[in-house]
Structure formats: structure tokens, C-alpha cells
Structure 1
Amino acid sequence: MSSGNPFEHAEYNNTNPFADSNQIQADVPLTDHAGKAEVGQDYTSYTQYGDNQSSVYQTTTAAPSNAADDAKNAAKAAELRRREEELAAREREIQAAQAEAERVRTQGKNNFPKFYPLIYMSIPAEIPKAHQATVKFIYNIWLALLGTLGLNFLACMLMLFAGIPNGAADMGVSLGYCFTITAASFLLWYRPVYNAFMKEMSMYYYFYFIFNGFHILFAFYMALGFPSTGSAGLINMIQVFNGKHIFAGILCVFSTALWFVQGFGGLFFYRKVHQHYNQQGHTFDQAKAQVTSSAVRNEAVRSAAWSAATSGRV
């Protein structure tokens, strides 16, 4: 038979009735409160921490991605980039074809030179009517230069066959002139004066003045005919006639005459173009500004083309 004293129980003997109830709950072993609704605040935080730890553990122990899937994804990405590059290249080709079609529609097809057209050139279509005669005369002078170079080469070749001293050197140099002078004269003074009258830009006039000035000096130099210079001009002509080589001498006469025509004809139209230049009010400052602007524009075009090319390779 138990005593009626309620303080005889060990639970109340071991507990201070004046102590904090929260402290009492914290001191009670966790195993004693498993599954009970009256668990304390601290115990609840312990269980929540335990749940978070379990979640982190589950995340870190997730299965790694499959290497085969990664390889397939990389292959698909590479194939996608390749198709994008092909589409970009095709788009550039279409744009270039459209630009060429527009140029042909407005200007016409390339027509110069006739045996292998590289550029479009038409004096009636591109040069103002008031200046077409001047440009045609300058063009004829350029064509005459081609004939002069060819005849000069034939004369130098006959000089070699006639045994004229330094005939081999003259023939070799004259052959080189047929290619270099032909290209240089077209690019450096005929095409600039053509563009000058077409666009009325100061920089083209200055290109013409500089390089056509050199051409005029070269024509008079060739007309003199110094030995070993590739010229069948005056001095070599005298040597050929002294050697009784009549046919070679006649060719030298024609060559000498044509070189003088180049020199004096070039001087006449040089003066004519310069008068037009002054009448239009062109200045050297305008030419410098146009050269600078053209250089900047070309640099921008090259940068854009380079950027498009490099972006297409990425």
C-alpha cells in the first residue's frame, strides 16, 4: 500500500519546482519525448535541423549525369552551329548576288577589258556630256600608249637581231614595259581622270596630276632613246641607221614619233584638265579630306568584313 505523500515519487524529488520549465524540457532526454505532442522548442529545432541535414545529404548524393548524354548534347550543339554557319554563308551569298544584280541594273555588266571584263566603264553613260570629248581623247591617248609600247618592243627586237650594242638589254626592258606601263598607266592616271570627271572629286584630279606628270616625263625620256633603257628612241635610231639596218630604223622612227606624241599630247590635256579643275573650285584641302574620308570608310568596311568572317567561324 502506497503512502499518500505525493512528494514521495522520484520524478518530483529530482526536479526543482522553481526552475524554468523550458530548461526542464531541454534537460529531459530526447528519447523520452519521441512521438509526444508536448515536445519543447529546443527539441523541435533539433528535429528540423535533422531534416535539413537529411535533405542536403540526399542532394549531394544524387547520381552524376550520364557521360553519354553529355556527348550527345555536345554533338547536337556542334551540328546546330554548323547549320547556322551554312545559313549565314548562304545569306551572304544571296546579299552579294542581289548587290551585283542591282549594280548590273543601274550600270550594266562589266565590259572592260573586252577579252576579260573586270570593271564597268562607259563614257556616254557615266561622264557628263560636256566632258565626254575630253575623256575620249585621253582614252585614245592611253590606247595609243599601248600601241607605242608594242611598236617599241618590235623595234628593240630588230635592234637585237641587227647586232646593235646592248640590244638584248633594250629588248628585255621593253618587254617588261609592255606589262608594267600598261597596268600602271590605266590604274594611276587614266582611271583617276575618268573618276574625276564622273564624280568631280578633288582627290582623283590630284592622282591624275601626279602620275600623269610622271608619264609625260617618261614619254620624253623614251623618245630620246638612251641605250639599254628599253627604248627605240632617237639615239638608238641613229645607231640603227648608221649600221645600214633600214627596216629596223624605220620602226625606230615610228617609235620615236609616238613617244613624242605621248609627251606633247599628255601636256596638252594635262593643261586642259587643270583648267577645268580650277573652274570647279577644287582645292588641295578638299583632296586631303576626301582621301582621309575614303581611308576611314575602307577601314570600316574591312573591319565589318573581318567581324562577319570571324563571327561565322565561331
Structure 2
Amino acid sequence: MAENNFPPLPGFVPLKPCFYQDFEEIPDQHRTMCKRLYYLWILYCATLLVNFFGCLAWMFGGGGVTNFGMSIMWVILFTPCSYVCWFRPIYNAFKTDSSFYFMAFFFVFMAQLFISIIQAIGIPGWGVCGWLGTISFFGTSIFASIIMLIPTIMFTAVAGISFIVLTKVHNFYRGSGGSLNKAQEEWVSGAWKNPHVQQAAQQAALGAATGAMQGPPSPQYSTPTYDNTV
């Protein structure tokens, strides 16, 4: 059993990593997409952190403390939850070709997309520097509004990229023959959490990919034999 290595914590922290993450265990045909989803998660976490500083500028510019307090909650709560609730499912889905994990990803990531759109809109009092809050604050403090504009643009980019990624993963899943029925069968049988079944599914996916690259086998011909007796 591999030792957990994520998140990579310094030695002086009295906590240990909670997950094992190594993109080399993802099949080659899925590794690039899996890495892109990981980078999207990093971008979202960075956006939440930048939003924290944007709400700090909002507060000092006269916008009150509600948005600043909410921005802290976004960082603390959604940074680990987004990793656990949608990145780990898609990581395991690509690793084991599990319909259950794909469905878990789709369910949570669609909620994540909806939240990102709301954050980009920026309803005042929700702790995000979206378009509504930023534009309306330009008349109060131009300097603070410029700082608030940075996370606003980043939230917009996250929402747009998330929609594109969701579409691509969905098209791949449907093209590979996945369905809700398969996910339900995995849930009922418990195959999605069986390590032996996961390993077999991964080997089958690798074998199928290798066979597809090699092409169909060459036809075999047998040499005819003739009876020389009269």
C-alpha cells in the first residue's frame, strides 16, 4: 500500500497527508485531462485566496466586514471540499474506469460550476468580489475596485473553463459507453470500492487501449496438406 503524499505538508506540521496522488497511475490516455482538472482545482483555490485580499480591500474601502468574513469561509471550506468532493472522484474515475466515480464527479462538479457562476456575478454580502459588487463600488473607491476586479476576472475564467471541462468529460464518458445504469450497478454490487475490481478494471482499460493502438490481429492461414497416395 503506497504511503499518502497529498497534501505535501512540511515536516514541522503535526499532521500527515490524507491522500495518495501520483498521476503515473492514471492510464496514459486519461493522464493529460486528469492533470488539467488538477490545475483547474489549483486555479480555483488561488482565486478564493485572491478573493480574500479583494474583500479585504473592499472592507478598508468602506464596504463593511460581512464580505471579508465570508471570504475567509470560502477559502477554509471550499479549498479542501472541492478537492475531496470533485477532484478525487474524477481522479479515481480515470484511474479505475468507474461509472460510479464519474457520476459522483458530474453531480458535484455541476454544483461547483453553478457556484462559480454565482461567484463571478458577485452578489454583495456573499463574500465574493464579483461583477455586481465590483462595478457598484467604483463610485466609492476606485483603488479598492481595481483590486476587486482581479478575483472577479478569475472567477469568470474559472466558470468558463469549468463549463468547457465538464462538457469534454461528459462527451468522453458517453462516448466510452458509460451510463447511469452502470453507475447504479457498481453501487449495488460495491464494485466501485473493491480494490481488486478497481485493479482489474484499470488493467482492462490499459489492455483495450494497447489493442486499439496495435490494430486488429493479422489473419492466420494454415498450409493445406495433400494425400500423395494413389
Q: 2 CA distance for matches of 1:189 and 1:134?
A: 14
Question: Partners of 2:130 and 2:73 in 1: how far apart?
Answer: 17
* 1:151/1:251 contact within 8 Å kept: no
1:158 equivalenced with 2:52 (yes/no): no
Q: In the alignment, which residue of structure 2 is the partner of 1:177?
A: 74
Spell out the pairing of 1:275-294 with structure 2 (5 A cutoff): 275-294=171-190
> Structure 2: 5+ residue runs without aligned partners?
10-15, 195-230
How many Å separate the matches in 1 of 2:103 and 2:175? 15
Q: Relative to structure 1, is the Cα distance of residues 293 and 179 closer, same or farther in structure 2, using a 3 angstrom cutoff?
A: farther
Structure 2: how far apart are the matches of 1:118 and 1:255? Answer: 29
Does residue 188 of structure 1 match 2:88?
A: no
Residue identity opposite 1:121 in structure 2: Q
Which of 1 and 2 has higher RCO (CA within 8 Å, sep 6+)?
2
1:297 Cα shift? 7.3
Matched residue of 1:110: which SS? coil
Confirm whether residue 147 of structure 1 aligns to residue 147 of structure 2: no
Match of 2:105 among 201, 208, 214: 208
How far apart are the structure 2 equivalents of 1:249 and 1:213? 30
Matched, 1:126 2:25: yes
Structure 2 letter corresponding to 1:223: A
CA distance in 2, matches of 1:286, 1:244: 55
- Percent same amino acid among aligned pairs? 29
Provide the residue aligned with 1:236 in structure 2: 133
**Counterpart residue number, 1:117:** 17
Letter in 2 for 1:130: Q
Partner residue, 1:271: 167
Corresponding residue to 1:135 among 34, 59, 66: 34
Q: What secondary structure, in the 3-state scheme, does the structure 2 residue paired with 1:259 have?
A: helix
Q: What CA RMSD, in Å, does the superposition of the two structures yield over aligned residues?
A: 1.7
Q: 1:117 to 1:253 in 2, by over 3 A?
A: same
1:225 to 122, 136, 144: 122
CA–CA distance in structure 2, aligned partners of residues 159 and 205 of structure 1: 39
Distance 2:193 2:172 in 1: 28
Q: Decide whether aligned partners of structure 1 residues 285 and 111 sit closer, same or farther in structure 2, where only a CA change above 3 A counts.
A: same
Q: CA deviation at 1:292?
A: 2.2
Q: TM-score, normalised by structure 1?
A: 0.57
The equivalent residue for 1:258 is 154
CA distance in 2, matches of 1:262, 1:184: 16
Partner residue of 2:145 out of 229, 240, 249 = 249
State how many pairs are aligned.
188
In 1, Cα distance between the equivalents of 2:182 and 2:21?
Answer: 26
Could you say which structure has the larger radius of gyration?
1
What SS is found at the alignment partner of 2:65?
helix
Deviation, 1:240, is 2.7
- Secondary structure of 1:204's partner? helix
| Per-residue deviation, 1:236 | 1.2
Per-residue deviation, 1:158: 1.3
Distance 1:276 1:223, change over 3 A: same
- Tell me if the contact between 1:152 and 1:232 (Cα under 8 Å) persists in the aligned partners: yes
Higher relative helix content: 1
Q: Closer, same or farther in 2 for the Cα pair 1:163/1:200, shift >3 Å?
A: same
Instruction: Give ranges in structure 1 of 5+ residues lacking alignment.
Output: 1-102, 299-314
